[in-house]
Amino acid sequence: MRLVWKLLRRHISLPQLAGFFLANLLGMLIVLLSLQFYRDVKPVFSAEDGFIRPDYLILSKRISVLNTIGLGSVSTFSQKELDELQAQPFTKRVGAFTASRYKVACSMGINGVARFGTEMFFESVPDAFVDVDLKKWHFREGDDVVPIILPRTYLAIYNFGFAQSQNLPKISEGIVGMVEMTISMRGNGRNEFIKGRVIGFSTRLNTILVPESFIRWSNERYAPDADAEPSRIILEVKNPADDAIVSYINEHGYELEDDKLDAGRMTFFLRLVSGIVMLVGLLISLLSFYILMLSIYLLVEKNSEKMRTLLLIGYSPARVALPYQLLTIGINAAVLLLAVIALFCLRSQYMQMLQGVFPQMQDGSIVPAILLGLALFVIVSIANAIVVRRRINQIWNNKD
Amino acid sequence: MNSITLDNTLPQVFLQRTDIQSDIWRRQVSFQRGETYLVEAQSGIGKSSLCSFIIGYRHDFDGHILFDGRDSRQLRTPDWIELRQRHISMLFQELRLFPELTAMENVEIKNSLTHHKTAKEIAQWFEALGIADKMDAPVRLMSFGQQQRVAMIRALVQPFDFLLADEPISHLDDENSAMMADIMTEEAQRQGAGIIITSIGKHMALPYDKTFSL
């Protein structure tokens, strides 16, 4: 083997192999990076909402100018409308949003220092619609802490607007327990305080959600006389793709809150762009493969007489092909290794940048990218090996 | 392998010719293991073609070549490799040495395939043929006569039933030629092998069992 290699390494063109090496490295890196970037960034756009199942629909009535000046149809749902909705064949369950009917103010702080306060409101939906551990999601009269789910946008407002300008630490969802809320409730001649604990953030609910039992208790305590119809309802349907739902909603002038749509579009474009970039990478890989094949052909051409002699003195085509096969496999393995190392470096760079913008972002797995790299390595190596072997077979058959 | 039989064999380039007078072409000829043959020919009568057909390098002939009765056209790649490694050793007229290797490496590259001889045995042959001092010299710097001796040693470091030598002594003086003949017949006898030697004039002085005129 040593002597065969000594013979056949003659005429190996280093510039050609270096060209192949760099081109293949570039192609491989682009392919792996596009996949990895897609997997890392995708969760930002398609974050699953842990609290409201995706097949729940949230309905409201369309607000028009007429509503605003007090004319036109009311913007709340009457009991009759709720009953009618419940009676529809596509409906499984209907729940109403119940709003607080007293004044709520809240001040928030971190580590014991109150930072900002605001007036706000609470809403609740029936507990059955909230997909969270019931141990965390309960309130009984006498408790001094109430669990709260905030819209995820609030977190973004805090992180990018407030924390940045006030030099406060950014908060990720993981350390949300650090947020302290003091809630003051006024009404019915009382002014009382209670602590709030944020247990999570929701993308789908544009409201400040508390347990239903808390709303019932507090409304009775601070606003016993007021009564209001719900302006939003939550709906569980048997089949979200049912056309009857859309036509029913349109017929009755309801509106579907669908914040998932934008995320869906973004994910689509992300996938499209990643796909195009990956294609470019594959194309470069393909071209580099072509370079290697040309180089090997030239090499075999220049060494064909030696190879013929080796075959004539008893070497098998497999043994004659082996050095060049090992050479290409070695180069491919080096390319894979370097590409993966480069991927790690580049990824740590962009993840640092992204995590500055999206603190709640979690790393995607790097395993699929490595698997893809391995698959490319295997495919390219097998293709190389086959081409080399076929060329040697041509020499064996005197067809060169 | 005990016999190589040529059955009505003719190179395809001679198909149009009607004036062929030959002991081998278009005849039934059999070479037996253990015997020594001389094939004499003039240039351009297909001497090297005959060797190429037997070693499986070329297949452009009419008729059949049979190894122990088995048609050479039925042989697959692994059969030819087996044949070249263990049954027929060839000493090429154009030598087919590797110029970038030393004399010893040229022999080793074959011996590493067959593991037939020890380094010591090979060195003894180099000694006997008077090129011991050239063992580690690049073969391209040696004279053609010296290269012929290296090629001979390479042909002998394998088991064989037939040794096919295509003009083995064209560039050797009588002394070296005799020495080469000794070594060749000694190894062939040790293995019980047949020897087929081709020549266009000067040929080794051996006790030939049969001489053919191609």
- Do B110 and B157 contact (CB within 8 A), yes or no? yes
ipTM of the complex model: 0.94
B75 touches chain A (CB under 8 A): no
- Do A25 and A257 contact (CB within 8 A), yes or no? no
What is the C-alpha to C-alpha distance for residues B146 and A360, in angstroms, rounded to an integer? 80
How many structural domains compose chain A? 3
Pairing of strands A179-187, A254-256: unpaired
**DSSP H stretches of helix in B5-73:** 47-55
Say if the Cβ atoms of A316 and B77 lie within 8 Å: yes
Residue B97 DSSP label = -
**pLDDT for res A91:** 87
Tell me: do A170 and A286 sit in the same domain.
no
Nearest residue on chain B to A4, alpha-carbon basis: B109
Tell me: do A85 and A234 sit in the same domain.
yes
Give domain status of residue A20, yes or no. yes
Residue A309 in this model has a pLDDT that exceeds 90 = yes
Nearest residue on chain B to A395, alpha-carbon basis: B57
Distance from CA of B205 to the nearest CA of A (A): 26
Please state whether the predicted TM-score (pTM) of the whole model is above 0.80. Answer: no
A197-239 pLDDT, tens digit each = 888 777 777 788 899 889 888 888 888 877 767 888 888 888 7
Give domain status of residue A108, yes or no. yes
Residue A46 in this model has a pLDDT that exceeds 80 = no
Give domain status of residue A55, yes or no. no
Retrieve residue A366's tokens: 């790097």
Tell me: do A297 and A284 sit in the same domain.
yes
What is the C-alpha to C-alpha distance for residues A292 and A281, in angstroms, rounded to an integer? 16
Tell me: do A39 and A184 sit in the same domain.
no
Retrieve residue B105's tokens: 């490496």
Retrieve residue A239's tokens: 């089949």
Which carries the bigger pLDDT value, residue A364 or residue A30? A30
Tell me: do A17 and A123 sit in the same domain.
no
Say if the Cβ atoms of A312 and B55 lie within 8 Å: yes
Tell me: do A269 and A377 sit in the same domain.
yes
- Do A149 and A201 contact (CB within 8 A), yes or no? yes
Tell me: do A210 and A237 sit in the same domain.
no
Chain B residues closer than 8 Å to A396 by CB: 77
What is the C-alpha to C-alpha distance for residues B97 and B30, in angstroms, rounded to an integer? 30
Tell me: do A87 and A108 sit in the same domain.
no
Mutate one of A12, A311, A313, A389 to test the B interface: name it (highest B CB count within 10 A).
A313
Chain A residues closer than 8 Å to B78 by CB: 316
Tell me: do A142 and A105 sit in the same domain.
yes
Residue A264 in this model has a pLDDT that exceeds 70 = no
What is the C-alpha to C-alpha distance for residues B150 and B142, in angstroms, rounded to an integer? 10
The SS3 of residue A144 is coil
Tell me: do A198 and A133 sit in the same domain.
yes
Q: Which residue from B57, B58, B105 is facing A3, i.e. has the nearest CB?
A: B105
A8-29 pLDDT, tens digit each = 888 888 888 898 899 989 999 9
Chains A–B, number of C-beta pairs less than 8 Å apart: 48
**Average per-residue pLDDT for chain B:** 92
Give all domains of chain B, ordered by start, each with its CATH number.
Answer: 3-213 (3.40.50.300)
Give domain status of residue A281, yes or no. yes
Give domain status of residue A342, yes or no. yes
B151-187 pLDDT, tens digit each = 999 999 999 999 999 988 888 888 888 888 999 999 9
Q: Which residue from B85, B90, B101 is facing A7, i.e. has the nearest CB?
A: B101
What is the C-alpha to C-alpha distance for residues A90 and A84, in angstroms, rounded to an integer? 12
- E-strand ranges in A87-221 read 91-96, 98-99, 103-110, 113-120, 123-124, 145-151, 179-187, 190-202
Chain A residues closer than 8 Å to B58 by CB: 398
Q: Which residue from A6, A310, A312 is facing B57, i.e. has the nearest CB?
A: A312
- Do A169 and A120 contact (CB within 8 A), yes or no? no
Tell me: do A222 and A143 sit in the same domain.
yes
Nearest residue on chain A to B86, alpha-carbon basis: A314
State phi, psi for A20 to the nearest 5 degrees. Answer: -60, -45
Give domain status of residue A258, yes or no. no
What is the C-alpha to C-alpha distance for residues B69 and A294, in angstroms, rounded to an integer? 44
Interface of A to B at Cβ within 8 Å reads: 1, 3-4, 6-7, 10, 306, 309-310, 312-317, 396, 398
A283-299 pLDDT, tens digit each = 998 888 888 888 888 88
Retrieve residue A246's tokens: 């859309």
Q: Which residue from B55, B96, B101 is facing A6, i.e. has the nearest CB?
A: B101
Give domain status of residue A54, yes or no. no
Give the pLDDT band (50/70/90) at residue A54: low
Pairing of strands A190-202, A113-120: unpaired
- E-strand ranges in B12-161 read 28-32, 36-40, 61-67, 70-71, 88-91
Tell me: do A246 and A170 sit in the same domain.
no
B97-152 pLDDT, tens digit each = 999 999 999 999 999 999 999 999 999 999 999 999 999 999 999 999 899 999 99
Question: A350-382 burial, b for 16+ CB within 10 Å, e for fewer?
Answer: ebeebeeebbbbeebebeebbebbeebbeebbe
The SS3 of residue B96 is coil
Say if the Cβ atoms of B158 and A3 lie within 8 Å: no
Give the pLDDT band (50/70/90) at residue B6: very high
Mean pLDDT to the nearest integer, A356-382: 84
- The whole domain housing A206 covers 98-226
Give domain status of residue A388, yes or no. yes
Residue B117 DSSP label = S
Portion of chain A with pLDDT greater than 90, in percent: 21
